[in-house]
Amino acid sequence: MLKNNIKISKFIKIKNKKILFTPGPGSLLEENILGLGPFFGRGDNDYKKIEKYVFNFLKKITGFKNIVTFQGSGSLAIEIALNNFIGGNILVIDTGYYSLRMLKILKFIKKKNSIIKKIKLVSWKEISRITGNYDWICASYVETSIGLKLPIDLLKILKKKTNSKLMLDATGSIGLEKKHEVADLITFSSCKGLFGLTGASFIAYKSRPRNKVNSFYLDLNTHVNKKITGPYHTISSLFYVFKNYEKIKKSVTINKKKFFKNYSNLIYHPTHLQPLLCTYVKKKFSKRKNLILYKTRQKINGSVVCHLGETFLKQNSLGKIQSYLK
């Protein structure tokens, strides 16, 4: 067993020669490899134990009792959530690319289904001035395209003031930010703040969905009742990650603090709007061999630098990879 662990450690060291400043997946972890195995979701008692542990951990960090998983990206979870839960008058908080993706999906649904009555788009800068009543507010807790964290306490106030329910795209915030339980519905994936492999997405919810969905795959019940193959290997890759979660997360905190110190005069957003995952700076960095910069999905005047590149070092991370940024 010791020899195998040494081999895995060497393998991880070799594979992590690529320097990542992307929002996820981050560096490859030894824990990702240790969790893999020949699993099958139905009738496999070993997998059931792993799944139970992983979901109990997710319930703890999200504050939600109901969580279902899918084999796909965070965008899949968002589309399933919007189809199954959202209806009536909708307010979308505009933070950039990922909030506008929710708006686009909502418009598709509205064309096909009368469950959505009206959709209104309002800039995140106007949160404190929004009035009226809505059935749902949809927002991205962390908008990675501009390195922005929405003020969750203001969203809580807005939810109460507008008599609304709140859906959060938590893809960039899960595990790294607090107070997800303020929302009624959240979506997230396995490969950012959970430090897992790509391939699994999740919906966590407080109340059962009411919408009738004219699709086998997009119907939440298909996945709740496990009628299709699930992301077994991605879930199993999270097992050992979650056992060492705080040590791995420490690396992100170390890299964020060091980057913030090094580029303090170029930071775009104030401290209270800073996500742990990434930082938006007024600077363009140069491409170099083995250096992978985050190419945002919308044009910005600067760069969004993400802080998952040394997670394989856990609490021993020193932020040395930042010396490669030029």
- What's 104's domain CATH number? 3.40.640.10
Domain boundary among 241, 257, 287: 241
Residue 324's nearest CA partner among 297, 293, 303 is 293
pLDDT of 234 > 90? The answer is yes
Instruction: Give SS3 for 206.
Output: coil
Tell me, yes or no, whether 117 and 194 share the same domain: yes
Q: Is 33 inside a domain boundary? A: no
Q: What is the mean pLDDT of residues 264-287?
A: 96
Q: Per-residue confidence at 127, pLDDT binned at 50, 70, 90?
A: very high
Tell me, yes or no, whether 185 and 260 share the same domain: no
Give per-residue pLDDT as tens, 183-206.
Answer: 999 999 999 999 999 999 999 999
Lookup: tokens for 282? 């007024």
Domain boundary among 241, 273, 299: 241
Give per-residue pLDDT as tens, 28-64.
Answer: 899 999 988 888 878 889 999 999 999 999 999 999 9
Residue 169's nearest CA partner among 74, 86, 249, 103 is 74
Domain limits for position 138 = 45-241
Tell me, yes or no, whether 103 and 209 share the same domain: yes
Alpha-carbon span 290 to 50, nearest angstrom:
34
Q: Determine how many CB atoms are found less than 10 A away from the CB of residue 297.
A: 13
Tell me, yes or no, whether 228 and 259 share the same domain: no
Residue 8 exposed, middle or buried by CB count within 10 Å (0-12, 13-18, 19+): middle
Q: What is the DSSP letter of 203?
A: E
Give per-residue pLDDT as tens, 276-326.
Answer: 999 999 999 998 888 999 999 999 999 999 999 999 999 999 999 999 999
**Is 159 in contact with 110 (CB distance < 8 Å)?**
no
Q: Give residue 3's pLDDT.
A: 47
Residue type, 44: D
**Is 84 in contact with 213 (CB distance < 8 Å)?**
yes
Tell me, yes or no, whether 231 and 277 share the same domain: no
Tell me, yes or no, whether 262 and 320 share the same domain: yes
Q: Is 211 inside a domain boundary? A: yes
Tell me, yes or no, whether 231 and 276 share the same domain: no
Any idea of the CA torsion for 47, 49, 51, 55, to the nearest 10 degrees?
180
Domain boundary among 210, 241, 272: 241
Tell me, yes or no, whether 7 and 125 share the same domain: no
Tell me, yes or no, whether 314 and 188 share the same domain: no
Q: Is 286 inside a domain boundary? A: yes
**Is 113 in contact with 164 (CB distance < 8 Å)?**
no
Kind and range of the H or E element at 89? strand 88-94
Q: Give residue 91's pLDDT.
A: 98
Provide the number of structural domains found in the chain.
Answer: 2
For the chain, give the mean pLDDT. Answer: 94
Instruction: Give SS3 for 39.
Output: coil
Query: What is this structure's pTM?
Result: 0.94
